[in-house]
Chains A and B, each alone.
Chain A
């Protein structure tokens, strides 16, 4: 198979992409860097703002995201999100700078739920359709679809989630197709104190996130310095206030294994802070 060297504009795409892979995934009271089985209650509205920072080889890409969700039923949630990407001026090329990213349409359907006293087990399918709406260098120029399947166990003191997902990436501008990604996640959570309705609540999280990305192709030819495998350890927490309608979710992804093809920027860390209000 022929491989070509990653040229500067495409390399910039790789930089921006690292910050765009997973901003959709974390919803409500669940994992920060992976899929969540929790859906909104019927008629519920959730508004979320998040700050994502990806640092690779010392270069930071910031992504600010606004997200709105609506509970169609107790088991079906739809939403929309719009990111603002700040790739910084450090790297020359068309993708440097800041601007609106592509709009995402979100869908989440919980198809199985088993409840007992203080425990909820559930399984949910999650879809994220990234549209080609940006028209600026901060968009990827393609329509991408992410589908994930997640199982969750939530109890008063302990949580665990397991999920798998796949990102199909469409054909971008100038014949560029970024590599599809397989996502595998395991997350555990611990609440140290008995939760009381009407009081603040905290759950500590620790996740293991794997991303396996295929090579990017340019007019059907694979590019050498693209694709590979990354594994992250992800500590974080969920804090909710005494009104039980406001949540803060900070988390950090620390790379613990990386096997990237060719010469690519290696991720130093990823930071995410999410604020959510539901009513």
Chain B
């Protein structure tokens, strides 16, 4: 009897775990305009942010490392990632001044490659 219950639980769990991602996929396939505008378009970046081009960004789960690594730097307020453009926008507190080497090392620690720094914060 106990074994039977275990089998039913295993089957239910497996079915749920398979169905949930598939359902989420269908939902996720519906385009959302809002998300695409989260990171500003090229040339229209917020003045309080570092804007950097990063190579190797291909998945959101992996890009999480970028957010985590920049969160360890003094001055970071928040980080936005645009995977399609390969752009990372790091909002910082006034007076924050990171060297190019610091930015390069931070991106490398996240497992990616710094292409170039597009913009440094314009408000100090």
Contacts and interface: CB of A to CB of B under 8 A. Distances in A.
Interface in A101-126: 110, 113, 115-120
Contact of B82 (A53, A197, A203): A197
Contact of A195 (B18, B32, B38, B60): B60
A202 B26 CA distance: 10
A152 to B, nearest CB: 10
A124 to B, nearest CB: 11
A244 B29 contact: no
A154 interface: yes
Q: Is the interface of B mostly helix, strand, loop or mixed?
A: helix
Contacts of B61: 28-29, 201, 238, 240, 244-245, 247
Interface in B1-44: 10, 13-14, 17-18, 20-22, 24-25, 27-29, 32, 35-36, 38-39
B83 A240 contact: no
A175 interface: no
Given A44-B68, A273-B14, A199 B28 contact: yes
A100 B80 CA distance: 43
The residue among A198, A238, A248 with the most chain B CB atoms within 10 A of its own CB is: A198
B10 A115 contact: no
Contacts of A198: 35, 38, 60
Contacts of B14: 51, 250, 271, 273
A154 B59 contact: yes
Given A44-B65, A115-B112, A250-B21, A29 B83 contact: no
A53 B10 CA distance: 10
A196 B35 contact: yes
A154 B20 contact: no
A42 B28 contact: no
How many interface residues does chain A have, given as a range?
35 or more
Contact of A118 (B10, B18, B39, B57): B57
A115 B60 contact: no
A62 B25 contact: no
A186 to B, nearest CB: 19
Interface string A218-244: 000000000000000000011110001
Contacts of A244: 60-61, 63-64, 67
B28 A193 contact: yes
Nearest to B69: A41
Given A44-B68, A200-B24, 14 more contacts: A53-B10, A74-B112, A110-B111, A119-B56, A154-B58, A154-B62, A196-B38, A198-B35, A198-B38, A201-B60, A239-B24, A244-B61, A248-B21, A250-B17
18 contacts: A44-B65, A116-B55, A116-B56, A117-B55, A120-B56, A154-B59, A196-B35, A196-B60, A196-B83, A197-B60, A197-B81, A199-B28, A201-B61, A202-B28, A237-B25, A244-B60, A245-B61, A248-B20
The 10 A-B pairs with the shortest beta carbon distances in the complex, nearest first, are A41-B65, A115-B56, A239-B21, A115-B55, A42-B109, A115-B113, A120-B56, A197-B81, A202-B25, A240-B61
